[in-house]
């Protein structure tokens, strides 16, 4: 997910120091640090009502890993699946649309 979010952030021209921080986070061994950063990079259009899906997905996954049975984890996954798939799908579609838009804009600018 960090790779997709990083690409989206790069397309939206984030600051150079943020790009450096992104590389550091991606190579980090600390999962919680990656989740916090992924939540920070989540585009506003994927935060309906101000809710960040990364935060909630992480809470549920952590709860499952640390205190639930395998059957309960499967139920948690079933509840999370639509949100997880939607976020990835929208990020990828948004990136593809932005690339197509940029290509069209470049074609308009050329003689």
Domain boundaries, the chain: 2-109
Q: What is this structure's pTM?
A: 0.66
Mean pLDDT computed over every residue of the chain: 83
pLDDT tens string 35-89? 888 888 888 888 888 888 988 888 888 888 888 888 988 898 898 899 889 888 8
Residue 6: which residues within 8 A CB-CB, separation 6 or more?
Answer: 22, 26, 41
Tell me which H or E stretch contains 52. none
CA distances from 89 to 18, 49, 52, 63 (A): 24, 19, 16, 25
Q: What is the pLDDT of residue 37?
A: 85
- Could you give the CA distance from residue 102 to residue 105 in angstroms, rounded to a whole number? 5
CA distances from 4 to 81, 89, 90 (A): 18, 10, 11
């Amino acid at each position: 997910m960090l790779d997709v979010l990083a690409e989206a952030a790069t397309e939206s021209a984030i600051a150079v120091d943020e790009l450096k921080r992104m590389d550091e986070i991606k190579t980090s061994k600390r999962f919680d640090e990656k989740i916090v950063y992924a939540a920070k990079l989540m585009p506003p259009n994927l935060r309906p009502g101000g809710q960040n899906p990364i935060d909630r997905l992480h809470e549920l996954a952590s709860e499952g890993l640390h205190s639930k049975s395998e059957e309960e984890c499967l139920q948690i996954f079933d509840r999370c699946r639509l949100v997880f798939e939607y976020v990835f799908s929208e990020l990828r579609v948004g990136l593809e649309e932005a690339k197509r838009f940029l290509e069209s804009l470049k074609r308009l600018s050329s003689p």
